[in-house]
Structure 1
Amino acid sequence: MPIGDVLPEISLTLGAVVIVLFAAFTRQQHHHWAAVLALLTIALCVVLTLAQWSGPPRLTFSGVWALDGVAISSKLVVLIAGALVVAMSPEWMRTDRRHGEYYALVLFALLGVIMMASASDTMELVLGVLLSSVASYPLAAYHRGWAPALEAGMKYFLIGALTNALLTIGVVVVFGLTGNTGYPEIAQGFAEGSDNLALTIATACIVLGLTFKLAAFPAHAWMPDVAQGSPAPAAAFLTVIPKVGAAVALARFMSLMPPDIAWRAIVAVISVMTMTLGNVAALRQTDVRRLLGWSSVSQSGYALMAIVVMGVSDQALTALVFFLATYVIANLAAFAVVTHLRGRTALEDYQGLARNAPIAATILIASLLSLVGIPPLIGFFGKFMLFSVTIEGGYTWLAFVAAVNTVVSLFYYLRIAASMMFSDARPVVHVLMGQWARSTMVVAGLLLVVGGLGAETLMIFTDSIRFAL
């Protein structure tokens, strides 16, 4: 068991422990230094992760941990996104007595997401899902004195308890069918033949368990409440980062399935239901944060398209990781603006914002257009790759449904943009004091444009990623 293979994860764990001790023995007015410690921890983890990139794809720790292109690239996406969330948090959390502990929870949640993406064993997958969930529940209800936050946290917890139980049941059934928990052994057991009914039930339970972290149908109901009721930086975290680990984990598990199990049809139906439900529900929203929550649901449906064609399109995994990266940047940019504006949430609060806060309005409009997939923003290239591999894989009808949903989404995104640009209202703009949130907002906005201009280089960087089995 080579310890060097999990040095990034060890650094995250130790960093979180150091932050807990720091918060316990320092005054509240010094807790913003915990954000610095968290950023240093993430930077060290990124360096250690990049050092693993040149190695051959392999399974380590007796085959339970994957070190392949998919795991490493998704780990980098998660860590960079985590750094942006940490950077937008200090001013928002300044008056909270548990300010320092917040960053430890973020690091533990990041660790759980990374474990989901790197798991090559069903027990490791369960451990990653549970660690991510346990660290995320307090983040959702961190403002426990506010009723919407308590509602969000309770809904998040109850749906998580149910779906995590289903995931565990599916894992137990798979173990009963194959006698193993490791993915290579499970794939071999499936190839040798097994009870199709039991395998279908197990697959359905595992897929439903992972739809919770994806915020995909039918375990999506927590997402709009969390987007609205959580602290804005925590909402930014919970609406995007767990999706990366869950999507990669689902893709990795689905790659084990024998061809006689209709798993592609199951995932395709979930994809259509998720994107359609998310977009239709977003049409009626007058709360910007809740609208972004429903938008996040729809984006999960798009991501599932790449999983549907996995194995029939050579670029499916590349498209999945690249789309997740572009979506993460766009959604974090939108929430960085919301955080900078002290979490203003009603749509009427954004009327005329382009006149009084032009930088914030420009970045928010750019992030919304990137979510739609408008060139030259980075979101266009993620959507383009997604649609290309879906059509190449023979699922043109799914690409058509996604295209219709994209047109529908354009309506509610442009409704926010039109309100900011063309309204005659001149709202009083309240922003967080300090430079953390403002700087994060600007950096995320630059990533939208710079990432789009350098998209071809990023595509080459992720072109050859494959699973290690």
Structure 2
Amino acid sequence: MEGSTVPLILTLGEKETERLGMDCGVFVRAVCGESRTYGNEGVRVYTLRVVVGPTHPICSMIYGSTGATHFDQLAKILTGYEITGARSSGIFMGILSIAVGSLFKITAVPFHMWAPDIYEGSPTPVTAFLSIAPKISISANISRLSIYGSYGATLQQIFFFCSIASMILGALAAMAQTKVKRLLAYSSIGHVGYIRTGFSCGTIEGIQSLLIGIFIYASMTIDAFAIVSALRQTRVKYIADLGALAKTNPISAITFSITMFSYIGIPPLAGFCSKFYLFFAALGCGAYLLAIVGVLTSVIGRWAAGRLPRVSKFWGPKAVLRAPDT
């Protein structure tokens, strides 16, 4: 795992655009998945994007148009001068490709397709790593939007619409899930939408709320997947398998319930504070649509993710008809 962690740590302080892709090897960890069907399908989707996708070649258009790769140099060029014509198009395509690559790695809609399968097919510790580490790394780098000058506004618009789409799809898709890890995967997609709200604001308050949100999200996710990892030893795979967990393992049931209540934003837990700061920042910058969609999807998410603590505390063990895994 350290082979995947080091590149992510290095990208946190990186100041050269061509090195932002050092974390591509992170997702290779998924090939050691315990379920080859799901894991390999997700790996194929990711490999297709990395190997034959246009993101990295198009990123070179920034260098071709400006002659600079260092963030400080780009900030001076893009902020101090008016760039038009072919150079402007090249810079725009390069910045757009950075946005697409970043959204893909953090499982934001519409680049989320690989996440449910690879989360389901990978060992739980790897799934937890994939759901946390790339988001921290990408958040640290994309928070430097100011270096892109007027082009930063374009990125904010992209994040604005992706935030709305991620919140809606994450909440609705989670309602239809019957497996624990797939439900957590779609909940993670929804939380990406909430976190992107901080970027969409384009204000100091938005970045501050984003940092708070990513820290709280990481803490909740570590706790949730730690419990899931322990339960997987007893072959808990489906939501219905959590029945009577309060009787067989009350400490895990209480901890899991508190974590999921925080996930769905029940006050006064940390998850509620995270969403409060993010929505407050959205209202402060006039992004009322983001705040409204966020509140509505949070209500829907309370029913979807709230099934886990509800089942673990109140349902008894029972037979469940399951479709065979393919």
TM-score by shorter chain over 0.5: yes
Distance 1:282 1:145, change over 3 A: closer
Does the CA-based 8 Å contact 2:264-2:306 persist in structure 1?
no
Q: Distance in 1 between the 2:129 and 2:97 partners?
A: 26
Q: Distance in 2 between the 1:248 and 1:170 partners?
A: 22
Structure 1: gaps of 5 or more residues = 1-105, 428-469
- 1:256 equivalent to 2:151? Answer no
Q: Distance in 2 between the 1:117 and 1:327 partners?
A: 18
Does the CA-based 8 Å contact 2:59-2:93 persist in structure 1?
no
The letter for the 1-side match of 2:60 is V
Partner in structure 2 of residue 152 of structure 1: 42
Does the CA-based 8 Å contact 2:12-2:141 persist in structure 1?
yes
Aligned length: 312
Superposed CA deviations along residues 272-309 of structure 1, whole A, max 9, x for unmatched, are: 11121122111110011011011111111111111111
Does the CA-based 8 Å contact 1:355-1:426 persist in structure 2?
no
Superposed CA deviations along residues 46-80 of structure 1, whole A, max 9, x for unmatched, are: xxxxxxxxxxxxxxxxxxxxxxxxxxxxxxxxxxx
Does the CA-based 8 Å contact 1:326-1:378 persist in structure 2?
yes
Secondary structure of 1:210's partner? Answer: helix
Q: Distance in 2 between the 1:329 and 1:123 partners?
A: 31
Partner in structure 2 of residue 125 of structure 1: 20
The CA RMSD over aligned residues, in Å, is 1.9
Structure 2: gaps of 5 or more residues = 320-326
Deviation (angstroms), 1:144: 6.1
Partner in structure 2 of residue 369 of structure 1: 261
Q: Distance in 2 between the 1:144 and 1:371 partners?
A: 26
Partner in structure 2 of residue 180 of structure 1: 68
- 1:316 equivalent to 2:206? Answer yes
Partner in structure 2 of residue 214 of structure 1: 106
Does the CA-based 8 Å contact 2:40-2:118 persist in structure 1?
no
The letter for the 2-side match of 1:322 is I
Superposed CA deviations along residues 334-369 of structure 1, whole A, max 9, x for unmatched, are: 111110112622111111211111111111111111
Taking structure 2 as the reference length, the TM-score comes to 0.89
The letter for the 1-side match of 2:19 is E
Partner in structure 1 of residue 224 of structure 2: 334
With 327-336 and 210-219 compared, the bigger mean Cα shift is at: 210-219
Partner in structure 1 of residue 139 of structure 2: 247
Identity %: 27
Q: Distance in 2 between the 1:262 and 1:136 partners?
A: 28
Select 1:194's aligned residue among 73, 79, 83.
Answer: 83
Partner in structure 2 of residue 40 of structure 1: none
Residue pairs, 1:84-99, within 5 angstroms: none
Superposed CA deviations along residues 398-455 of structure 1, whole A, max 9, x for unmatched, are: 111111111111111112222112213279xxxxxxxxxxxxxxxxxxxxxxxxxxxx
Partner in structure 2 of residue 76 of structure 1: none
Secondary structure of 2:306's partner? Answer: helix
Runs of 4+ in 1 over 6 A off after TM superposition: none
Taking structure 1 as the reference length, the TM-score comes to 0.63
Distance 1:358 1:315, change over 3 A: same
Q: Distance in 2 between the 1:339 and 1:209 partners?
A: 29
- 1:272 equivalent to 2:164? Answer yes
